[in-house]
Structure 1
């Protein structure tokens, strides 16, 4: 019901999804090559995101509070999940460029669905941890493949494609996090059952709509051209990847150690869950407004400006002791996220070899997963040896360092 309401809301407010661009005389521009329909990409992203958002908010809490595992063990499992996701990210790019995008996507979603169905019935320790590692690998494949499919679309401005994909992902986050707080109270099997239902719909959509005739040959030709290409990757790409690493290493702290920090200060699981619902709602409306002007804003402004705001939110978090302070910090973080997060893959796509879409997006999602893998370990080490304040201050410093480095290297790149 929640997801249906959000679908209708977004469609009504923004007047459709700008699936095609029009020429000045009103004629629709025909895609010049083979690509997936944008609306199919958005809807499948929504169902995948809703299913995933039923799982990750409760992973650490379930292991620590229900399965009675230590925070160290829980953090190691979350880190392992991110590592297997990173492997999936890399493999997803390879499979898209060198095998079959459709077969790779079908197999990946099928493995994720089977794992969630098994988790519905078997979720004790250590079975839970093993299945979560498998799920991380499958989702890693899925994230890269979805981004690679998105990067092939040329009938719509690339920045709008990634923005709308990001928008639908966050509609899923709103739906998932709004539901999980209630399902978890009735038992974790209902959480996994709900996620299985979302992935079942996702799987059906992939089987029906992702078998794009000619896409495999098109990807193979592009990969062959990339192998012979003399394209030199601009050094600024590596700075952007470093920024993405810092961004998601910081972001994962909200999904892991900050949840424990809030409960230690007397706040409830529902208080924490509401923050993610609020995050999704702000992104839905903010991203919709941003989509109206995004083509007029330089990529460096949206990514670097948004990342700076994101970093500033951790300065606020240093002083946070009450729930309103956590809300304020998360709102600032979310505004920064709106500007930066969906534009990072668009910037990478713009600067990378046009014949290696899968490789570029696979590298980015691998770096994102690496950040998510390192984050819990980094957070745990600084909390054990120092304090939450030292952790949040260090995260701010790392983010600002990569913002400045990216700005400097991009300036040199533009002068060439």
Structure 2
């Protein structure tokens, strides 16, 4: 692994650790402390995610035009200012406004980080994205563990903790990312050809759109753990400290078990279709299991099953985008993938909150299983389209 990649990994850990002081408690804070309904909380999260979609696309565009260094610093600066606003005033009106701006800033950072990882270690293949994925979840484990303790003491302090981590992240990016160069691989002929094909719906774009549809549905289900399931645990009198422990388990398990999952994929030479189907299968099993949960131990088991599933699915999708992308469109393709995840996070709270407010949690779990079944269909369709792309032929994405 190149030394310059370590700065990106450290930056990702700091970025996600800071975010993990806030995101697990958004719905709980809006619903319990600010006194708003789950539907209203879902709407605010939707606007946050919608802003993130625009941030994702802008981040990918900035990466292609200005490079990763400038695009990441731009995103960090916007995020820092929004978190500073939350520290100063997190009453309902200001919280909702700053939270939306926060989504936009964070949205710029992530596609730029992923695109820079792929460009900094192109020969790494899936290993590069596994590394950034593990770093991301190490941040989740650290951030949720510390965030749970902070929230248990005084939930208002989570904003200040987030701000401190982003200051450190900014300094690491400012001085550590500067010398991480992205190779200039695009010549004038390639640029001219790219401009001609700018709006063409090529097989690679079709394949990317199909896998993004599956990605949206998976995230829509996954985000329920941060919204409706989090609220349900509060209704069952399971405290915030225990809830945050679920995400600590999630992050720690990924750090420990991801190398095992990667080895299994290589050993059994799983195709992309099988890898996606395995992961989504675990998502379905987790959803069905948690639908009957009434004790904290059952939620822990459900989270472990969910985590195994995400270790198959989450690292693979940005790898697919990097493989499908033309050399001058890496940032754009990563922006599309991150936008798909953000759309899932945007729709999830709204749909979940509306179903629970209108019906109940049991109906929601049935809807979620249906969504996951549809995502399996998209995963099968993806492989068929990918065969039309030269780069995708005979690839298992498990290198």
Using structure 2 for the length normalisation, give the TM-score: 0.89
CA offsets 1:9-47 (integer angstroms, 9 cap, x no match)? xxxxxxxxxx05xxxxxxxxxxxxxxx921111111000
* Mapped partners of 2:355, 2:248: distance in 1: 28
> Helix, strand or coil for the counterpart of 1:187?
helix
> Helix, strand or coil for the counterpart of 1:211?
coil
Indicate the residue corresponding to 1:87 in structure 2: 54
> Helix, strand or coil for the counterpart of 1:152?
helix
Indicate the residue corresponding to 2:396 in structure 1: none
Indicate the residue corresponding to 2:235 in structure 1: 264
Indicate the residue corresponding to 2:224 in structure 1: 253
Indicate the residue corresponding to 1:130 in structure 2: 97
For residues 142-291 of structure 1, what are the structure 2 equivalents within 5 Å? Answer: 142-212=109-179, 215=182, 226-229=194-197, 232-234=202-204, 235-291=206-262
Matched, 1:320 2:287: no
1:415 Cα shift? 7.4
Which segment is superposed worse, 341-350 or 238-247? 341-350
Indicate the residue corresponding to 1:32 in structure 2: none
CA offsets 1:314-360 (integer angstroms, 9 cap, x no match)? 11122222222222221111100111111111122223333310110
Indicate the residue corresponding to 1:358 in structure 2: 331
CA offsets 1:49-80 (integer angstroms, 9 cap, x no match)? 10000010111111222222232222211111
> Helix, strand or coil for the counterpart of 2:237?
coil
Change (3 A) 1:179 1:377: same
For residues 332-351 of structure 1, what are the structure 2 equivalents within 5 Å? Answer: 332-351=305-324
CA contact (8 A) 2:152 2:240 kept: no
1:166 Cα shift? 0.6
Change (3 A) 1:154 1:378: same
1:122 Cα shift? 1.6
Indicate the residue corresponding to 2:88 in structure 1: 121
* Mapped partners of 1:142, 1:220: distance in 2: 27
Matched, 1:101 2:72: no
* Structure 1 unmatched ranges of 5 or more: 1-18, 21-35
1:200 Cα shift? 1.0
Which segment is superposed worse, 220-229 or 135-144? 220-229
Change (3 A) 1:169 1:224: farther
Change (3 A) 1:79 1:119: same
Matched, 1:387 2:360: yes
CA contact (8 A) 2:151 2:240 kept: no
> Helix, strand or coil for the counterpart of 2:120?
coil
CA contact (8 A) 2:119 2:182 kept: no
Change (3 A) 1:240 1:412: closer
Indicate the residue corresponding to 1:401 in structure 2: 374
* Mapped partners of 2:234, 2:280: distance in 1: 27
CA contact (8 A) 2:279 2:311 kept: yes
CA contact (8 A) 1:231 1:353 kept: no
* Mapped partners of 1:154, 1:275: distance in 2: 32
Aligned length: 383
Change (3 A) 1:135 1:171: same
1:384 Cα shift? 2.5
CA offsets 1:96-115 (integer angstroms, 9 cap, x no match)? 11234322211211121222
Supply the RMSD in Å over aligned alpha carbons.
2.3
CA contact (8 A) 2:321 2:333 kept: yes
Matched, 1:139 2:103: no
CA contact (8 A) 1:100 1:216 kept: no
Which segment is superposed worse, 342-351 or 367-376? 342-351
* Mapped partners of 1:415, 1:362: distance in 2: 23
CA contact (8 A) 1:159 1:295 kept: no
CA contact (8 A) 2:203 2:385 kept: no
Indicate the residue corresponding to 2:25 in structure 1: 58
Change (3 A) 1:408 1:73: closer
Indicate the residue corresponding to 2:397 in structure 1: none
